Structure 1
Amino acid sequence: MEHPVKFAHSMSKYSRHLKQIISYLYKESFMFLDTKKISQKSLTFIAALTVQIGCMSISAPASAQQAEQQRGIPFLTVRNETSANDRDPYFGKERGPLKAGWCDIGERWLGLPETVTEAAPFHIPEEILRVDDVRSGTPDSVMETLQETSPDNAPLLYTHGFYIDFEKGCRRATIMQENAKLQGRFLWFSWPSDGDLLNYTHDESDLYWSVPDLADAIFEMEETFGPQGVNLAGHSLGGRGMALALNEVALRKPDIRLGELVLLAPDMDFEIFARLLPRIRPIVSDITVYVAKADRPLALSATVHGYARLGETGNDVASLEGVEVIDLSELPVRSPTGHLYHVYNQEVGDDLNQLLNEGKRPHERSNMLYVGDNLWSLLPTE
């Protein structure tokens, strides 16, 4: 029998891990869900996980390579500069002048068995990511570094959605970068989202305020990397911001030519996007929109706004000339809200890799089923 002191230490350790996981699941947004509608499978798994963690003995320590692994992303932000415990500058939720730099990410490994993480009906992290450092730079220095790290393929300018503070945004953008195999070719644009679930309308206002800066960033990247030399992506409310910024870009410089535009779970009025499309479509090489039936935040947004969102299924996508819509409804839902598939579904990461790194159209990519005009379904990997 295990020594009582060692057993107590083990229980304490995994109790902390369980708290971290539950905290993580809450932040990754169980609060969006009606708890009465959470599947019995999910509830059963959480109960089983609690028992298993409580009964596990001490795991092997993380390897030195795991412990020292550093990750991160370059960024542009129009958030206000703050101070975090006298460390290097961090950024808050208020509006501010354009700043740039690098966000360094570290990790704390949980040591959970693969059987636990693989059996989960939703994503459970193998590690808890944290922001280790934020290094200041200039927009020019960030662009110069990006040129050095992406000499052959077009880099991606990506912006986030609602309910994202600076630190959470750093973590999620880092995971997305790795999921789509875009290391060294990824630039994150962070607008001043509050990171508060109850401040949706406040976030909408801050997004609109940020659109001219996002448009300027697109111009700067096009000047740096050349025609069709930059790809663009936006998630959720950030997808709306990216579409509005491109509308402004098209009005200011209609002869500009950009690369791929990817809208992930875009929280945008479907009909407004359709009206802007004739301006946006000529200035980008291709447009890909990812949608999913199980996306709960978009369903809530549609209720709040009274109009269908672009990232929902069931829209008349055949009317969107020159747009490729990828339906992810057949994939396992790996986040509690169904809204973060670009971060937590490896199948989506693989598809983005084929799109952005290999330039493949839907009919050339793996596990893709043609459904109808402009519409494809991404199937699970067998």
Structure 2
Amino acid sequence: MRLLWKLLRCHLSTAQMVGFALAGLVGMTVVLGALQAYRDIVPILDQPDSFLRGDYLVLSKRVSAFNTLGLGNSDFTAEEVDDLRAQSFVREVGALTAADYRITGSVGVGGINLSTYLFFESVPDRFLDVEPAEWNYEPGSRDIPIIIPRNYVNLYNYGFARSQGLPQISEGIFRRVSLGIDIAGNGRAEQFRGRIVGLSNRLNTILVPDAFIRWSNERFGTGTGEKLPARVIVETDRPVDAAISDYLARKGYEAEGDRRDDGKATRFLQLAASGVAGVGLAFSAMSFYILLLSIFLLLQKNSDKLETLLLLGYAPARVAKPYRMLTFGLNFGVLFAALLAVWLVRLSYLPSLEALQEGYRPAGMGVTLLCGIGLALLLSLLNGLAIRRKIAGLGCGKR
């Protein structure tokens, strides 16, 4: 083995090895850096209301002049809901059930009593983007848990409160606000207390538990039976699929808030990460060929000596071993340097990500390490196979 190592070092080119190391380092760093950055960003986007966990579209029908004159209907029939659920881009469909009675809400803020008409809706729990601890209702209870849109808080703080000289209220205080709820209908009028238990980014409506809506509609509603939903929420994992836009246009449905733009952002993020990783893989492939050409040049320079060793009875695998160990060491040396570079770059961008989300927890580097080891092993295996084949060819050529 010492003889073989001496033979290897005899014509080893430092410049060629440095060229391989630089190309390999750039390629490995770009690949692993793109992977790690993507995994670190996902926890910020992967919230219950995040588009990365599937997009949610709230659909309604266009309101025409016929609806204004009372000659049209904007409700979804059971057949239309079934047809929507049967589409390939749809995971699940849920109906928003509206309250069928008059609601008045009141609250005291800064010594001023505010009162307005309200509306309640409910949606299946799986479509909620918050997980309130007290999201339940016992029929007949005077307490009603409520989820309001987060933009309502912003409208109050940055619009109404500033114009009326009222104090701004944090989200934490908003959750402690108690609303006076007056419900009237079907010859009855009763008072309830509303408790804000969550703020929603997904649904632009005032949500109450489905159990309350069904109980209160029976008690205060018009008694005309269960009404058809005017809006439905759709979960889809293909938010930018052209089939969705075509289907909505053909059916005359509208998507509230145009959440499909979020899906475009998701695809852009995924494409950007894939593009960066592709560049890294190109550099890795280039470094692979640089190393392979360098090793082949060494083999060519030592071809006479190698053929002599083969004739003396050395097995091709034994002759190839020092060259394979060289490539193995170089590939894993590059991997170690690339992981160090990724770690340093990660230290620079993590504070910015932590500032975007309270309680942010970045992804670990375990997956990145495993992918790096896998890539280094693959390159070493390919280099080893090529080297052994080349050396075996020298022996065959001599015969």
Task: Please give the range of the TM-score, normalised by the shorter of the 2 chains.
Answer: under 0.3
- Larger relative contact order (CA 8 Å, sep ≥ 6): 2
Q: Which has the higher helix share?
A: 2
Q: Which has the higher strand share?
A: 1
Larger Rg: 2
Q: TM-score, normalised by structure 1?
A: 0.21
Q: TM-score, normalised by structure 2?
A: 0.20
